[in-house]
Structure 1
């Protein structure tokens, strides 16, 4: 199993590297950092603009391949993604913001996967009954609803709840409250309060998609031969389904989790904007809107690493659940 996992990790590392290089080449080809300095009053000296983009290594007048080669040399020799248009180190910015985003992503993705699998299994077992219908309709409504709309709705409900109790119980602006006491429990309570709404939104939207996929997989195994064999050996229907059916039905979910993580990451980006979280989502949007080539490449690298990690975890789970893939 270890050799199987190592082979997969090597493949993912190579893909991450290629994705990052391609991201730099594409952003360099289509983004023009000099536009940020144009149209100002008073106008900036063209030579100053050229000198600035040369220092950043993103001068659009330099051929893309030449810029890519210089960027790769700096990445390999210095371990640096370059500097942003604000003259800050890209990697330093990413490290500072990654923790903010990961708090939301890790908790939200795990809860979404667990809740989605549970609802999918429950809906399949209770097929066409009231519980299955409720889960199905609720899932379709959530899937059809844009993420930022769900975030705004939760903010409205939280505002009304705070007004009803007469106290700011749920806080949803920013990742923390300035001036909160440094002690552990006050800081923990403040963190939970700020994470509550975006985590609920990310969990519900992720669970809606997971439940549909898991329900389909579970329905495929309900009438399988091994389920009937287990029943013939004396197991109850519930025991046969949980001991044999659920394990087989969950196997495809491990792969689906890895490839749906990108969608979850996109959803968290919009939620960060809605809830004013200064994380990698806001960093990515700022990089794109400001034509910041180095920052945009760093954002793609961050997303690729997260997908690499989730893919590796899915491979481990897949190998643990299905021994046939270990050889």
Structure 2
């Protein structure tokens, strides 16, 4: 790119595209939720049932009245979002306040699980590729497919059983299996003890996926001409593989990492439910059950925003790993 930094230009165009995609995805999520969900049904179950005029007024106050045109409701909702206000839930509670706490819960879990899983998976996949058909390659393949074959709910309960057995064996509660924190206790150690098991549940699955992905990509790169050229110029096998082959093989992995992060943000429902972590995934299911349009749309926005941030980070890593981006 003449007259400017090619990396900055590359990232600027990508960022503009991501912002547009977030706006479109969030708008579609709101329109779909507003058209499919029925907040009015929540009032029909009350005893005594409130008059229709009262229900209409209540729903209108929260921008949930289905008797108003969908386009008008969307405009009101979009204006609020641009001001940082996601509106009210069907019961009148603030969507911002509720999701602010829940987002922190889910982020702690997802970031820890995904980072640990990705780093471990890449390391295992790289070692397996370098030692193709060796004992480590065969062992990691069996272990990865074994983890992938086990449903998340089964894996989580296996970890809980193992943790309870270990706690009983040592006589010390090393692992805590329920909740985000112990009631009445506010310490870093307590939070870590609650975080270990759900993090392991996510990390094991992520490590299995990333290890298979990294192994297959690296095997394709190891036979490339530039790797053989590096060896012919006198680089050691370790230096050629680490400095050149692994660097190139990481490019598609960082892209996969970005999309995985966005999906996990609301895809941890099972893990959150089993371990009593009331985050975004748990709240998304609850919101759909209660026909809570504004909360569903807000969670969709947060997921899209998380995907945008992860994609920008992936692009930065792409620019660092791929010299072609810096020479366009």
- TM-score range (shorter-chain normalised) is over 0.9
How far apart are the structure 2 equivalents of 1:35 and 1:168? Answer: 45
- Contact 1:206–1:264, Cα closer than 8 Å, also in 2: no
How far apart are the structure 1 equivalents of 2:66 and 2:314? Answer: 40
SS at match of 2:268: helix
Q: How many residues align?
A: 321
- Name the residue aligned to 2:247: 247
- Name the residue aligned to 1:299: 299
How far apart are the structure 2 equivalents of 1:263 and 1:73? Answer: 27
How far apart are the structure 2 equivalents of 1:210 and 1:178? Answer: 36
Report the CA distance between 1:198 and its aligned residue. 0.8
Report the CA distance between 1:267 and its aligned residue. 4.0
Deviations 1:180-219 (A, max 9, x none): 1x5xxxx111011000001111111111111111111100
- Contact 2:266–2:284, Cα closer than 8 Å, also in 1: no
281-290 or 189-198, which deviates more: 281-290
- Contact 1:214–1:249, Cα closer than 8 Å, also in 2: yes
How far apart are the structure 1 equivalents of 2:66 and 2:73? Answer: 9
- Contact 1:202–1:267, Cα closer than 8 Å, also in 2: no
- Name the residue aligned to 1:7: 13
Report the CA distance between 1:154 and its aligned residue. 1.2
Q: Which runs of 5+ in 2 are unaligned?
A: 1-6
TM-score, L = length of structure 1: 0.93
Match of 2:86 among 81, 100, 109: 81
Runs of 4+ in 1 over 4 A off after TM superposition: none
- Contact 2:107–2:265, Cα closer than 8 Å, also in 1: no
- Name the residue aligned to 1:22: 28
Report the CA distance between 1:165 and its aligned residue. 2.1
List aligned pairs for 1:256-267, cutoff 5 A.
256-267=256-267
TM-score, L = length of structure 2: 0.93
How far apart are the structure 2 equivalents of 1:264 and 1:140? Answer: 20
- Name the residue aligned to 2:136: 131
Report the CA distance between 1:4 and its aligned residue. 1.7
230-239 or 26-35, which deviates more: 230-239
Q: Does 1:192 align with 2:172?
A: no
Report the CA distance between 1:42 and its aligned residue. 3.2
How far apart are the structure 2 equivalents of 1:263 and 1:297? Answer: 15
112-121 or 49-58, which deviates more: 49-58
Report the CA distance between 1:144 and its aligned residue. 2.8
Q: Does 1:214 align with 2:214?
A: yes
Q: Give the superposed CA RMSD.
A: 1.6
